[in-house]
Amino acid sequence: MNKDDFSNFNLNSLIRDNILKIDPYLSAREEYSYQEKNSIFLDANENSFGSPLSFSNSYNRYPDPLQKELKRKISEIKKISSSKIFLGNGSDEIIDLIYRIFSRPNTDNVIIFPPTYGMYEVSGKIHGVDIVKVFLTEEEYQLNLKKIKKAINPYSRIIFICSPNNPTGNDIKKEDIENIIKKFPGIVVLDEAYIDFSEKESFSLELEKYPNLIILQTLSKSWGLAGLRIGIAISSEEIIQWMNKVKFPYNVSQISQKIAIQALNNKDLFFYHLKNILSERKYMEDSLTKIPIIDKVYPSSSNFILVKISFSSKNLYQHLIDKKIIVRDQSKIILCNECLRITVGTHEENEYLIDQMKKYSEKCS
Ligand SMILES: *Cc1c(COP(=O)(O)O)cnc(C)c1O
């Protein structure tokens, strides 16, 4: 556990035995033929006459299994080589793949830091892997390094860190993340779903230093493409190749690939929306702080804000529902007692929310 450099790092020793042994399914479109646009394709049992769609005839073919054009765009934007990028059917598919590759059911355990994103635990339970929880520190929501070190045992295969963290919204301290990546002999997954809303830099800039690091990003949040289901993993070429071996051959649909490329070509609008979200976040933070029933507005590096209500977040939640405003009640989540998580909306939406909260607060006083 006292490994300060990675000279002894052996990726294969972390990979599940049955996975080490498989020969991947080679889809027809993975062979050279996919590149040759002018060929006659009689290799994949597609319908050569086309689909019954009236507007397009381009969906009768299987999509590019490795999403090369889309990866090239993401590679340009994130300044990371395509060979270090994996795309999944949302980050949730990637989390599942990481369990499949790196953990053994009924044997291994995985360490998570609640309150955090629920899928790490759900996916672990689906895979029959023990979930070891080391809670974040109270109020600051930072890693508890001492307790983490005690919790790690020889069967700990994966650690999930979420920064900025969901549902608390804050960045995890950089030196603490570095400490875990350097000391932990297994795989560290750093979920940066909200990194574009943070002032902190992505760890993807330091990928070369860490052969055990997998960074997760997504097009669902800052890029506004939750409906397409495109999650991104950034890691060493070796780890990316394992993911490619284990994934379903056509895991990202043709239509998702095509539309994502169109969106990524429109960076100006992306930055415009991002700027608006950040200024609306500020507006919400300022306004929420002034509402008497709100005890605390937690600092946010994301596109949502966690607030603590002085009494009964449940009642406020219900009041907002009655006004057709849906926020997330976190009162059952550890360390989030009486908390609501509120996503930053458009200015009109935020104004209406603040207005309704003020009215509720007045009623209570
Ligand atoms: C929203 C979110 C994701 C994104 O999931 P997708 O499956 O890519 O939509 C990942 N991690 C966290 C912490 C999230 O909050």
Q: What is the per-residue pLDDT across 148-196, written as a single tens digit (0 to 9) for each?
A: 999 999 999 999 999 999 999 999 999 999 999 999 999 999 999 999 9
Q: How many CB atoms lie within 10 A of CB 42?
A: 10
With a pLDDT cut of 90, the percent of the chain lying above it is 88
- Closest protein CA for atom 4 of ligand 1: 91
116 φ, ψ (degrees, to nearest 5): -150, -175
Which tokens in the block code for residue 357? Answer: 């909260």
pLDDT for 2: 47
Sequence length of the chain is 365
CA pair distance 86, 241, nearest whole angstrom: 9
Which residues on adjacent β-strands are paired with residue 218?
Answer: 231
pLDDT at 1 over 50: no
Our answer on whether the CB atom of 197 is closer than 6 Å to any ligand 1 atom is: no
Mutate which of 163, 197, 220, 225 for ligand 1? The one with the most ligand atoms within 8 Å of its CB, which is: 220
Q: Which structural domains are found in the chain, ordered by start?
A: 11-265 (3.40.640.10), 268-364 (3.90.1150.10)
Which tokens in the block code for residue 91? Answer: 């980050």
Our answer on whether the CB atom of 218 is closer than 6 Å to any ligand 1 atom is: yes
Our answer on whether the CB atom of 217 is closer than 6 Å to any ligand 1 atom is: no
Our answer on whether the CB atom of 191 is closer than 6 Å to any ligand 1 atom is: yes
CA pair distance 12, 348, nearest whole angstrom: 53
pLDDT at 357 over 90: yes
Amino acid letter at 7?
A: S
* Strand order, beta sheet including 231-234: 85-88, 231-234, 213-218, 187-191, 156-162, 109-112, 130-133
CA pair distance 278, 301, nearest whole angstrom: 9
With a pLDDT cut of 70, the percent of the chain lying above it is 96
C-alpha 95 – ligand 1 centre gap (Å): 10
Geometric angle at alpha carbon 315, from 167 and 302, rounded to 5°:
20
pLDDT digits (tens, 9 = 90+) for 53-110: 877 778 999 999 999 999 999 999 999 999 999 999 999 999 999 999 999 999 999 9
